[in-house]
Each structure stands twice: as structure tokens, then as C-alpha cells.
A = this chain, B = another copy of it.
Amino acid sequence: MDKRIQSVSEAVADIQNGSTVMIGGFGEAGSPIELIHALIDSGARNLTVVNNNTGNGEVGLAALIGNGQVRKMICSYPRSSHSKVFPELYRAGKIELELVPQGTLAERIRAGGAGIPAFYTPTTVGTPLAEGKEVREFNGRKYVMEPWLQADYALIKCETADHAGNLTYNKTARNFSPIMCIAATTTIVQARKIVAPGDIDPECVVTPGLFVDRIVQVAEPLQESKLIAEGVSYP
């Protein structure tokens, strides 16, 4: 079961208009910038994108949004010191936003992958983000019911992948990626290194291979902050 694909464009070629796409990364850490750029090249539109943020500058996720391919963002923090694309489109009413607290976002994604359609969390109780949601008391404390979150695709950056799709990550670039791998029907991964099965210690595998569908090597990925500093704009 060799899951290697030759190019990022081939890896994302079947992503259709209207798909829901989870994109790993917390800011630039773990952002699969080459896969995102391939998705820009593919031209798929009307996407719902799940990411903690909305990208920076005019590369990567921000470029995908700026290119008008995203109908709706599901995220916890859609602004940053370098984000301007999303705010402009949002103020112009050209993009939808589902704002989800970071921990609820993570847990909804995990639930989506774990076959749990809903769970209760204390997060948002008594706040505007709980409006319209079921509130229920357990052991004398109030909790909000939250539904799972699933996706058609996940775009993921990892450190090392083996042919069978076992993955390890690098430091805090891990963030949402392992749970997105389990919540998406098709998981597409760009890896700095690709090794043979058995080369990753089975005790240290973070994402087991059955969650991964396609692996493409990007040995020297672009770094978002560097591109922004250089004033790069994609495409």
C-alpha cells in the first residue's frame, strides 16, 4: 500500500468545487503551503475551509481566500498582525465565518474522526457563541452541545512519512494536523522526508497510516513568514 504521489498538483487534482477542506497549521507552523498553492492552481471554488486562522500576507491560506475560492471559513481566530485578505472580504460580505473557540474546534474535529456526532463542553456557556445551542446541566454545571466536524479533504504538512502513511510532525507544527487526518474522507500529506515502512519507530508514530491517503514529498517547503517578508504574492 504505497501511498506516494508524484506531485502536489496530482495530489489535490480531484478536489471538487464545494468541498469542505481542513487545512493543518497554526499560523504558519504546520501550514501545507505547497498543497494550498496547488489547490489555488487547481481552481476549485466555493470551498468551506477549516483552519485555526485565515492566513497571512498574500500567500498560502490567505492567497486561497484572496483568490475567491473560499465560500466559508470555520476558525477560531480570523485575524493576525499580517492578515488583511480575510478581513477585507469579510467586511465586504463576500465570505462567511463560523467562529468556533479553539478547543471546541479541536474537539469537534476529533469527534468527527472518532464517530462521535456530538458532545458537551463548558466552553461558551453564557456567551454569544452559545446562542441557539442546546445547553444542558450535568453534575450542577452547564454545558453546551457541540456537533462533530468532518471534511471531504485534509491538507496536511508533516515532517516524516513512510510509504504506508505513518506520520510524525515537527514541534508545534503538529497542532491540528493529527485530528484533521482522522476527520477527513481523503487525507493528503506533504512530507519533508519520505521513508520506508519500519523506518519510523512504531512507538513514535503520531498519525497511523490508515488515516492517510496520499503522500507527496516537499523536501524544502516554503516558509510563509519569509515569503511575506519578501513581499511575495501567490499566484
Chain B nearest CB, measured from A199 CB (Å): 15
Task: Determine how close the nearest CB of chain B comes to the CB of A100; give it in whole angstroms.
Answer: 16
Cβ B119 vs Cβ A116 within 8 A: yes
Residues of B within 8 A of A122 (CB): 115
Chain B residues within an 8 Å CB radius of A206:
203
**Does A229 count as interface, using CB distance less than 8 angstroms?**
no
Q: Does A147 contact B (CB under 8 A)?
A: yes
One of B111, B139, B201 near A117 (C-beta < 8 A):
B139
A169-B203, A204-B204 in contact; A138/B117 too (CB < 8 A)? yes
Q: How large is the interface on A (under 10, 10 to 19, 20 to 34, 35 or more residues)?
A: 20 to 34
Q: Which residue of B has the minimal Cβ distance to A206?
A: B203
CB distance from A127 to the nearest CB of B (A): 17
Query: Is A118's beta carbon under 8 Å from chain B?
Result: yes
Q: Give residues of chain A (87-138) contacting chain B, Cβ–Cβ below 8 Å.
A: 107, 111, 114-122, 138
Residues on B with C-beta less than 8 A from A203 are 168-171, 204, 206
Min Cβ gap A135→B in Å is 12
A184 to B121, CA, bound (A): 19
Instruction: Write the nearest CB–CB distance from A205 to chain B, whole angstroms.
Output: 10
* A202 neighbours in B (Cβ, 8 Å): 171
How far, in whole Å, are A201 and B117 apart by their CA atoms in the complex?
Answer: 35
Of B116, B138, B170, B201, which is within 8 A of A120 by CB? B116
Contact B121 A120 (CB under 8 A): no
CB A158 to nearest CB in B, in angstroms, measures: 12
Q: Which of B107, B168, B204 contacts A114 (CB 8 A)?
A: B107
- What are 28 A-B residue pairs whose CB atoms fall within 8 Å in the complex? A107-B114, A107-B116, A111-B119, A115-B121, A115-B122, A116-B119, A116-B120, A116-B121, A117-B120, A117-B138, A117-B139, A117-B141, A117-B143, A118-B119, A118-B120, A118-B138, A118-B143, A119-B119, A119-B120, A138-B147, A168-B203, A169-B203, A170-B203, A171-B202, A171-B203, A201-B204, A203-B204, A204-B204
